[in-house]
Structure 1
Amino acid sequence: MRYTLVFIASILASPVAAQTGLPPAPYADQQLADPAKEAAARDLMEELRCLKCQSQSIADSNAPMAGDMRSQVRERIAAGETPDQIRNWLVERYGSWVTYDPPVTPMTWPLWIAPIFLLIAALWLARGRFRRKKDDS
C-alpha cells in the first residue's frame, strides 16, 4: 500500500519536476523603454515560431523557451541589431524552421511545390468526375 502511494505521488509530482528552476529571462515579459525598438521587437517576435509549442509565435507562447527567445530578441534590438540580423542568428542557431517564412531551398522545394501538385490532382479528379456525370445524363 505504501509503495502504491509513493508511486501515485511520484506521478502527480512529475509535472512540477518538469518545470524549470531557472528565473525567467529578464526581457521575456518586460517591454523595452523605447517604443520604436519595442515595436520592431514585437514585429519580429510575431514572425518567429516557438520551438516547443510549434504552432504559436514566440510573442503568443507561454513556454519558458519562448520567453528566453523573446528576451534575446529584445536584448539584441536594444543593443542595436536589426531584425534581419537577429532572424539570421536564430535561423543559424535553430534552423529555418524557426521562422514562419522559410526560404526556398532544395530541401524546402517539396513544401512549396506540394500544394500546387495537390491542386492540379484535385482539379484533374474533379474534371473526370464531372465528365463522367455529364456522359451519364
Structure 2
Amino acid sequence: MGVTHVSVIVRNPAAPDRVWDGEFLVDTGAVDSLVPRIRLESIGIRPGGTRTYELADGTKRAFDIAVAQFEFMNETVGGTVIFADDDAEPLLGVTALESAGIEVDPRNEQLKRLSAVRLKPFATA
C-alpha cells in the first residue's frame, strides 16, 4: 500500500480553544496517534502517563501519553496521543480511524467513511 495523509486538528480537551493542525500520515499499523511533543505542549496538553510501545523494527520504547481530541473528515474523536520527538512525523493511528467510522481503501490509497461504526469484529469465513 502507498502513503495516505489526512489533515487533522488536535484539540486540548481541557481547553477546547487551544488547537494545532497538521498533515498526518495514516498508519494502520499504529494503535494510537503520535504528535511531536512541542506541538502538544504548545496547546497545553501535558503527559498523563507513560506507555511502552513496540516500534516497527521490534525495539520497545516508553513514551509519554495523554488524551486529546482529533478532528478529521468532519468527525471528532477522543483518543490516546503519544508525545513523540519534536521532529517526528505526526501519525494517525487505527483507533482514531475506527472510532470515527473511517477505514483505509488500500486500492485507491484513500480514506473512506463506513456506513456505520463497527461494534463487533469482522466475521471470518
* Higher helix content, 1 or 2: 1
Q: TM-score range by the shorter chain?
A: under 0.3
**Looking at CA atoms only, which structure, 1 or 2, has the larger radius of gyration?**
1
TM-score (norm 2): 0.22
Relative to the length of structure 1, the TM-score reads 0.21
Greater fraction of residues in strand: 2
